[in-house]
Structure 1
Amino acid sequence: MSITLADARVVTPEGVHEGWLTIEDGRITHVGQGTAPGSGLGLGGGYVVPGFVDIHNHGGAGGSFPTGDPEQASRIADLHARHGSTTIMASLVTASLDDLTRATAALADLCEDGLLAGIHFEGPYISAARCGAHNPALLREPSPGEFTELLKAGRGHVRMLTIAAELPGALDTVREAAANGVIAALGHSDATYEQTIAGIDAGARVATHLYNAMPPLHHRDPGPIAALLQDERVTVELINDGVHLHPAMTRLAFTVAGPRRTALITDAMAAAGMGDGVYGLGPMKVNVVDGVARLAEGGSIAGSTLTMDVAFRRAVQEVGLSLAEAAEIASLTPARVLGLDGRLGSVSVGKQADLVVLTDELEVAGVMKRGVWITEPR
């Protein structure tokens, strides 16, 4: 079946142009400028951007990936898909090894079904000094052998591990992750500049929510932020919700790292898409007030209630990025992190028809995944 989307402002890696695109068998077959040939579905000048790719997400719609509950996971994925995230990775938090193994095995089934793009361990190999919304009693020193056992539960679907480079055994565990095709991400870390560089040299390639849960920049003690921003091998995650980061800090990271090394994430938890209240994040209790999630005990920020459409919109309206730049860091760069950029992440011929239609105000008007409407354009 062939679908033509006409009267659109198509956002491609090259920029924005008025035109049209054609989709056949779930893939983009033509991207043209001007008036579409023949009839098609008119979008009334709406923007067409690639489906968002969220590589760090703990939950939403009242559900939480760390529970490993398939029904909750499906509900989470549906919520975020309706906000434009057509590709999503499930992030776990620090828990007992038994709980991590159980949740990983359950989520691996959903990866095999195509609902999820992989599993991310955010913990337990992180710093007690920078653990944020993780239970410090459950933190562990990194162990390559132990990590390999966790990987078995994931049956090839564990895609990322967040780890603190300064911990004993961390560098060997980073090497083990890389050897198994798992992306090592540095974060929740109290590392020095030199220890962070050592982690990158060992194979780490992502900064878990840059700035958050790590020492701040200092002119005599640059710490992990400077190391991660400056190294061309590293992609930096940013939680662009106006709570975790001031827009100036998002702009600074983008200016240094550029669109190829900057990835928007949500770090969403169960309250995303919901109202204020009390929620769980793994074993931790979280209070959400005015849309801001904080631990009930201690008050640390505990994930976000963000969706990727809001992160995208803020990137344009608050940070000052172009639509093409915002599309790259919300879609193509995170797809590149996962090694999926050959088939999704941009509005390009031959790629999967994962698309988001946006209004003039950059609100979601429609979402398509693999050529099928999740939400039909309004």
Structure 2
Amino acid sequence: MTRISGRIVTPGGVISGHLDISGTTIAAITPDAAAPGNDTIPANHTALGNDTADVIVPGFVDLHCHGGGGHTFTTGDPEAARGAAAFHLSHGTTTMLASLVSSPFELMRSATLAYRPLVDEGVLAGIHFEGPYLSTVRCGAQNPAFLRNPVLAEITEVIKIGEGAVRMMTVAPELNGALEAISLLRDAGVIAAVGHTDASYEQTHAGVAAGASVATHLFNGMRPVHHREPGPVIGLLSSAATVELIADNIHLHPGMLAYAAGSAGPDRSILVTDAMDATGMPDGEYELGGQAVVVADRVARLAQGGSIAGSTLTMDVAFRNAVAAGLPLTAAAAMSSATPARLLGLADRGALAPGLRADIVVLDADLNLKRVIRAGV
């Protein structure tokens, strides 16, 4: 039996006490006799006030990550994928999707076959194709050479050969054939996401009605909000879709992060990294989807055009930034663990409760990473 003590962030609140692990699961959570009730860390990083106890949260679940630690998911190389997953595990991500960027169908197919064994092993929770069925107007750092309207035969094939490994695909709903593609994904049990889109408010709602349930990095790669044409941002926030938020204080101002999370609520908001291979690496020159990227002072941008090209964020920093933006610990934990786990249909993880898998992140009082436990290890 392993015991961890501190401020335990559960779905029902923050408990001062200890958590017991037996094998791969959480055996018990026992509160101390006297437990303070503050579950919000103020933005000045004094953490729990005068309390220096560790903060214990569920293992992070990242639905949108392209790589890290010098390793990428975008080339379909299984050893690189292992390296990227291991790097993010060391930062608290105990469950993750491998996100690819827009690419030729041959790469989509080969990557699906290459990553399927890693999904079977549990190294990855699945594959996320961010494209290539995206808007050229809002392509951001997606390679425009590979963008195209949805091809149902391509989507059908990768789902079939993936045998459950393909878990998510981002589509711009205004493209020809997009609504049919979204419905196909929904019917196959694959999460359909709206992103890199120039859709109107009405087109966005049509995408959600067709089966889209996630907004890929809300605000980024989308038509900006306008009071006479709300566009996809307001369309998604006003729908039942769950919204991804990149909490690196670069893609989103902390105030906008707090606003979006407050508007959608923690049950419809998720923190993601959108990290690339440069995460955890020195500034310099990198590559993403066949395009040169320059990283300077944590910010990744295309060498040509200057568009932001993913991030250098890890989930432990995203969690800390979300709390610094004013979100309660319970909300940040839901957004980084419970809500994305529920989207993936993983009922055995995503929260700290007896009987669930022991995926646990231990943070110090200032929310700096101290320890990561995955399935009790």
How far apart are the structure 1 equivalents of 2:132 and 2:188?
A: 18
Deviation at 1:222, TM superposition (A): 0.3
Deviation at 1:83, TM superposition (A): 0.7
TM-score normalized by the length of structure 1: 0.93
How far apart are the structure 2 equivalents of 1:162 and 1:172?
A: 13
How far apart are the structure 2 equivalents of 1:170 and 1:58?
A: 24
- Does the 8 Å CA contact 2:261/2:269 hold for their aligned counterparts? yes
RMSD over equivalenced CA pairs, Å? 1.2
Query: What are the Cα deviations for residues 96-146 of structure 1, in whole angstroms up to 9, with x where unaligned?
Result: 111111112111111111100000010110000011111111111112222
Q: Which residue of 1 aligns with 2:321?
A: 314
How far apart are the structure 1 equivalents of 2:134 and 2:64?
A: 16
Q: Which residue of 2 aligns with 1:16?
A: 14
Deviation at 1:336, TM superposition (A): 1.1
Residue 25, structure 1, aligned to residue 33, structure 2: no
Q: Within 5 Å, which residues of 2 pair with 1:28-47?
A: 28-34=26-32, 45-47=53-55
Residue 338, structure 1, aligned to residue 351, structure 2: no
Q: Which residue of 1 aligns with 2:210?
A: 202
How far apart are the structure 2 equivalents of 1:49 and 1:63?
A: 26
- Does the 8 Å CA contact 2:105/2:154 hold for their aligned counterparts? no
How far apart are the structure 2 equivalents of 1:144 and 1:350?
A: 41
Q: Which residue of 2 aligns with 1:68?
A: 76
Q: Which residue of 2 aligns with 1:297?
A: 304
Q: Which residue of 2 aligns with 1:167?
A: 175
How far apart are the structure 1 equivalents of 2:118 and 2:212?
A: 26
* Unmatched segments (≥5 aa) in structure 1: 36-43, 373-378
How far apart are the structure 1 equivalents of 2:25 and 2:15?
A: 20
Query: What are the Cα deviations for residues 23-52 of structure 1, in whole angstroms up to 9, with x where unaligned?
Result: 1121011111017xxxxxxxx821110000
Q: Within 5 Å, which residues of 2 pair with 1:1-378?
A: 2-6=1-5, 8-34=6-32, 45-231=53-239, 233-317=240-324, 319-340=325-346, 342-372=347-377
- Does the 8 Å CA contact 1:64/1:280 hold for their aligned counterparts? no
How far apart are the structure 2 equivalents of 1:189 and 1:135?
A: 14
Q: SS state of the match for residue 113, structure 2?
A: helix
Query: What are the Cα deviations for residues 320-376 of structure 1, in whole angstroms up to 9, with x where unaligned?
Result: 011111111111111111111x2111111111000000001100000000001xxxx
Letter in 2 for 1:81: L
Q: Which residue of 2 aligns with 1:39?
A: none
| Aligned residues between the structures | 360
How far apart are the structure 1 equivalents of 2:291 and 2:277?
A: 12
Deviation at 1:150, TM superposition (A): 2.0
Letter in 1 for 2:4: L
How far apart are the structure 2 equivalents of 1:12 and 1:154?
A: 34
- Does the 8 Å CA contact 1:123/1:162 hold for their aligned counterparts? yes
How far apart are the structure 1 equivalents of 2:13 and 2:281?
A: 34
Letter in 2 for 1:353: A
Deviation at 1:153, TM superposition (A): 3.2
* Unmatched segments (≥5 aa) in structure 2: 34-51
